[in-house]
Amino acid sequence: MRNLLRTLKRDVEVVFERDPAARSVVEVLLCYPGFHAILFHRVAHFLYRRRCFLLARLVSHLSRALTGIEIHPGARIGQGLFIDHGMGVVIGETTEIGNNVTIYQGVTLGGTGKQKGKRHPTIGDNVVISAGAKVLGSFEVGEGAKIGAGSVVLKSVPPGATVVGVPGRLVTGAGGEGQPPRREVDLEHHLLPDPVADTLAELQRRVAWLEWRVQRVEGGGKDDKGIQYADA
């Protein structure tokens, strides 16, 4: 009972830590669907571990109907999970979530294929998964990693890394691949680079340089038109 109360207290505390809109404990207890979904899941998981599978699924189904968040009762969730808004979040049966993880609306932690056994991701501590991201398959997302909004992640993510895009790509440089794991939650998930846009910009600069070289060799006139306005 003491551990249950400590876990419940922590689930309330993280709302104040990560949502500036939270004003009171009563408001969190009554008006936060993410908190409600986690509370329902604690009950459902308790029943699931005692092999009361049907009753556990009924509790999970009730939670889904009330909150719009679907968490399979078999999923293992650590302390300090914060589901912000939460509508459309899906967490699969063999998912494992560490401590102090933040998940935004529309996130799917799902599986691929119809194989049995471990088929959903393992999420490390202090991970942030932004709105609409899909993490699909049995692999690990390392401690302190950040998943950009709308990303589709299909393979392992190193600790401290940042992944963006479809399919998900590791971002190099500041805050990206090769960085040490974050020891606290970083909610600045809007400050993520765009590797596709960076690559296109570099290609455009390269084409402009090559055109300048060709003009010097051939002695042609100067063409100031940007590549996006080139004639068909």
Whether residue 121 sits in one domain with residue 223: no
Whether residue 205 sits in one domain with residue 115: no
161: number of Cβ within 10 Å = 22
Structure token pair of residue 157: 């993510």
| pLDDT, mean of residues 34-46 | 94
Whether residue 65 sits in one domain with residue 17: yes
How sure is the predictor about 188, in pLDDT bands with cuts at 50, 70 and 90? low
Structure token pair of residue 163: 């992944």
The predicted model scores a pTM of 0.75
Average pLDDT, the chain: 85
Domain total in the chain: 2
Q: Residue 160: give the domain boundaries.
A: 2-191
Instruction: Name the amino acid, one letter, at 165.
Output: G
* Order of strands, sheet of 162-164, starting from the edge strand that comes earlier in the sequence: 82-83, 102-103, 128-129, 146-147, 162-164, 169-170
Whether residue 222 sits in one domain with residue 119: no
Q: Does pLDDT of 207 surpass 50?
A: yes
Whether residue 153 sits in one domain with residue 61: yes
Whether residue 200 sits in one domain with residue 167: no
Q: How distant, in Å, are the alpha carbons of 163, 165, 217 from that of 38? A: 26, 28, 68
pLDDT digits (tens, 9 = 90+) for 80-130: 899 998 899 999 999 999 999 999 999 999 988 777 889 999 999 999 999
Alpha-helix runs per DSSP H in the chain = 2-18, 25-31, 33-49, 53-67, 195-218
Q: How far, in Å, CA of 183 to CA of 116, rounded? A: 34
At 224 the pLDDT is 55
Q: Does pLDDT of 228 surpass 80?
A: no
What proportion of the chain, given as a percentage, has pLDDT over 90? Answer: 53
Q: Does pLDDT of 53 surpass 60?
A: yes
Q: Does pLDDT of 231 surpass 70?
A: no
At 62 the pLDDT is 96
Q: How far, in Å, CA of 125 to CA of 195, rounded? A: 25
Whether residue 41 sits in one domain with residue 111: yes
Q: Does pLDDT of 158 surpass 60?
A: yes
What is the CATH classification number for the domain harbouring 176? 2.160.10.10
Whether residue 200 sits in one domain with residue 158: no
Structure token pair of residue 36: 């409600």
Instruction: Name the amino acid, one letter, at 230.
Output: A
Tell me whether strands 146-147 and 70-71 are parallel, antiparallel or unpaired: unpaired
| Residues 179, 193 contacting (CB under 8 angstroms) | no
Structure token pair of residue 183: 């020891």
Whether residue 109 sits in one domain with residue 221: no
Q: Does pLDDT of 191 surpass 90?
A: no
Q: How far, in Å, CA of 95 to CA of 111, rounded? A: 9
Whether residue 124 sits in one domain with residue 102: yes
Crossing angle for the helix pair 33-49 and 53-67, nearest 10 degrees? 170
Residue showing tokens 């078999």: 74
CA neighbor of 135 nearest in space, from 106, 176, 172: 106
